[in-house]
Amino acid sequence: MNVGSTDQALLLRMLDATSKRRDVLLSNLSNAETPGFQRRVVRFEDMLTAAFRRGSDLTQVKPVVEIDAAAPAGDDGNTVNMELELGELRENRLMYETYTAILGAQFELMRASIESGR
């Protein structure tokens, strides 16, 4: 494993996606009472899967923020669903914790390798 490896670059991109998703979810929650507000979503994992199937460089896939056109609107035109946002926020946190644990383990392996003189 080398510093700046593809695995680490991909993990950093995945962390970036979870960070962006957190910001979007919090924005959705803060606009839950705003008439006409359209819920936003972050597309990343499906784009990553498509890039993998094409054999593209996965580290070049970037998260994209889009309006959720499929979300049903309330009487005021707002499409935010509080339960959905909170559930996705919890799921996103778990993904972030998983990615940071993997990245931390990789850095720990590098540290151990350096300390052992290899």
Quick one: pLDDT band at residue 107, thresholds 50, 70, 90?
confident
Q: Where are the domains of the chain?
A: 6-112
Q: Under 8 Å CB-to-CB from 39, ≥6 apart: which residues?
A: 28, 67, 68, 71, 79, 80, 81, 85
Q: Whole-angstrom Cα distance, residue 42 to residue 68?
A: 9
Quick one: pLDDT band at residue 1, thresholds 50, 70, 90?
very low
* pLDDT over 90 percentage in the chain: 78
Does the pLDDT value for residue 45 go beyond 50? yes
